[in-house]
Amino acid sequence: MFHRSFLVNRRLRRLSPFLLSMTLCMSLGLAQPSFAAHREAPIPHKQASIEDDPLFGLTPHYSRALPSAEVLIDVGHGGIDGGAHHESLLEKDINLAVSKKLYLMLRSSGIRTIMNRSGDYALSDDNRWHHSRSRHQRDLSQRSQLTKEIQTQIVISLHVNWVPNKTRRGPLVLHQNEGESAFLAFCIQDMLNRHQHTATLPVIGKPFYILNVVKQPAVIVEMGFLSNNGDRRMLTDPIKQGEIADAIASGVRNYILFR
């Protein structure tokens, strides 16, 4: 009995005071001590409020959501609107191909540039605000509206010409009745004349909607005649398309340099 009691006491001394008290209570059949009184009261959590947001009350700058650029390339036609055509060749495809090359060349020169379409679709499909049955009117108004919403310095609209007279050839740049637009047109026309060995002078494009409503200096570049055999081969050749884009880009760089 003494030996057994000695072993129990020896083992109890090895226990921590907390375990020792628990062991004694259980051995004596007493109720376990309550630790509820020792628990810390829960800290009330503050309900989240919008006023806690550091951005609350600040005026948002919505203009940052829209791109800005020095040059806006207006890619003529698109989607259901094929533009001028010769058999299966469509103006809209030529405009887009040259525009993509021009975009890359201007960007590589450090000139911030954007395009108003990058695929084969009609801008009239994006127009939900102009309630007109005319798809053509919705297309034109959408193009002009983009020049208002996107901060740009100049607008270059790319197109291809067509006339019944198949001997007509060469580029033609149309401009607004305004000095900056005229200077931009002369810069681009000069480089295109050098490329295509022509001596055409740019002209005022009075009847053209985009030139009448756009506030920035804007030009329409007719890159050649789809109705002319020689121009048609040039306009559909990817290498020649790159040369046309390079001539236009050179004209834009000259305009920016000397304006």
CATH number of the domain within which 244 lies: 3.40.630.40
pLDDT above 90 as % of the chain: 49
Q: How many domains does the chain have?
A: 1
Question: How high is the pLDDT of residue 40?
Answer: 53
Report if residue 161 sits inside a domain.
yes
In Å, how far from its chain's centre is CA 54? 29
Domain with 245 in it: 68-258
What is residue 129's predicted lDDT score, i.e. its pLDDT?
A: 43
Tell whether 211 is covered by a domain.
Answer: yes
Q: Phi/psi of residue 83, each to 5°?
A: 75, -155
Please report whether residue 73 resides in a domain. yes
Indicate the pLDDT class of residue 222, thresholds 50, 70 and 90.
Answer: very high
Query: Has residue 191 been placed in a domain?
Result: yes
Token pair recorded at residue 55: 């951005």
pLDDT at 64: 47
> Average of pLDDT values for 116-120?
82
> 175 in a domain, yes or no?
yes
Nearest to 105 by CA among 256, 252, 258: 252
- 198 vs 133, more confident: 198
Q: Taking 70 as the threshold, does the pLDDT of residue 216 lie above it? A: yes
Model pLDDT for residues 134-185, shown as the tens digit of each residue: 555 555 555 666 667 778 899 999 999 999 999 999 999 999 999 999 999 9
What's the mean per-residue pLDDT of the chain? 77
- Answer yes or no: is pLDDT of 7 > 50: no
Instruction: Give the mean pLDDT of 242-255.
Output: 98
Specify if 235 maps to a domain.
yes
The string of pLDDT tens digits covering residues 50-64 is: 445 454 444 444 444
Q: Is residue 219 part of a domain?
A: yes
Global pTM exceeds 0.85: no
Asked whether residue 183 is assigned to any structural domain, the reply reads yes
> What pLDDT, on the 0 to 100 scale, is given for residue 54?
52
